[in-house]
Structure 1
C-alpha cells in the first residue's frame, strides 16, 4: 500500500507544475518529503496544513471585519486586511489654526494682513478739454479738443482753426504826454517866484520841470520857451504842447478838451484853467 501511495504521490508530483497551485509537504517512506498539491492531498485524505494568506493571490482571501463592530465593512466584502485602510467616521477640523511667528533671524516672507483696507473715495476723472464749433443756422457746439480742426466744411467755423487775434499794440506816448503826466502829479503845489520844483514853482519853472521828467530839457524862462520848439496852430494843439500868454510872459501846458495846467499865482498854485482864460500868444511842441 505504501508503495502504491508513494508511486501515486510521485506521479502526482511529476504532473504538478510549480506556481499554478499551493503544495503541501508529504513524507513518503523510502523516498522522503515531497510536495503534493493541496487539491491532490485533499483527495487522498492527507491533511493539508493551513496556509497564510498572501495579498493579491486568488483563492486565499479571508473575511475581514471591523475590529470595533460586528458587521463587516460595507462595500468591502472578503478581502485581505493588509490592504484595508481604516477610515474614521468623523474627522475633527479645528476652528482656528495657530501660526507661529516667523523667526526674525531667518529670511521669511511677509504675511499680508487679513484686515480689510478702508474704503477710499474714487478720484473723479478730469473733465475733457473742449473747444467751440459754430454751425451756421444751428449755433455753437462744444467738441473735444483732441479732434482735428474742422476746416473746409461750408457753414462750420472751428475756433481751433481761427488764429488768435494779435494783441493790439499800445500806442507810443509822445514826449508831451509824458511831460503832462508829471505835471498832473503836482496839482496843488505852491506858486513861488523863481521856483523850479519839486514842491513849488513859477510858470516857466513848472513847464521846465515837467519836461525834464519826460527826458527833454527846455529853456528856463517863459520867453525863451516860446522861442524854442516847433510852432503849432491853436486848432492843432495836442496834450503836452506849450501855450504862451501875454506876449510870452506866462507859460502853460495844454491838457486837452480846451483846458490848460499851469502854475497860476500865489493864491492858486498849480491848477487847471480854461485855454482861453488869458490872451494866447502862441504854442510850441517839443
Structure 2
C-alpha cells in the first residue's frame, strides 16, 4: 500500500537533462589564413549564402593546408546547412564574381582580391529576381498619343542601356565612346568615371598583365579601369614614373617569392617600400634595369624594348 501511495507523488525537483558544454580550442585544429584575405571576405558585398560558402571553402582548403581541392557540393551543404541546390547556385555566383577559382575539378579561393567583381552577381540577381509588375495605375491606363508613347519607350531603352553597361561585369570591354564627357583625359574609365587612367596607365597595366600571365597562364582578364586607376593613383601618391613602376614589377615578377604574391598594380602599390628596399639589397641577385637615361621617354619604343 505504501508503495502505491508514493507512486502517485511527483518529485519536488524533477531531474534535469545534462547539457554538454562545448568550448573550442586551437588544440583541436585551426585554419591558417592571411589577414588580408579574411578582411577582404569581411568587407565584400556578399549575400548570407555566398558568405557561408566562402567560409566553408576556406575551411575545406586552408583548413587542410591546401589552396584548392576537389570539394563536392554535398560537403559544403553539410558544413553550411544549405541545400545542395542553393550551394550550387551560390557557387556559380562566386565563380562569376572571381571570388572562387576552378581549374578542372579543383576549386578554391581566388587570392587576387583585386580581381573580385560584384557587379556580375548584381546583374544576375536583378535578372532572376526582378518582380514582374502585375498592375498599373489609373494614370497609365489613360489613352496617350503615339508621340508620348514613343518618348516613354525611348526613355526606358536609354535607362536599360545605361544599367546594362554599368553592371555588365566584362572588364575587357572597350570604354563607351561618350566616356570622354566624364573624364576628357581618360583612355579608359568606368561608366561613372570613378576609376580611370590615361593611355600610358592603360599601357602599363597591359604590360603588367602580360608578366602575370608568364607566372600564371590561366590568369583571367583584369578589370582594366581598376588596374589603370591603381597605376594612376600610384604615380600621384608615390611621385613615381611609369618606368619605375614597370621596373619594380619586373623585379618582383622574377623573384621566387614575390612573383606569386604581387600580381596586380594594387598589390605592387601596397608592397612598394618593401620591394624597393629588397630590390637594392646586394644579396638579391635579380635582373634589374639600371638604365637611368632621362632623355629616353618612358613610352618610346626604345624604353619598352627593355621590358619586353
Question: TM-score if structure 1 supplies the norm length?
Answer: 0.21
Q: Which has the higher helix share?
A: 2
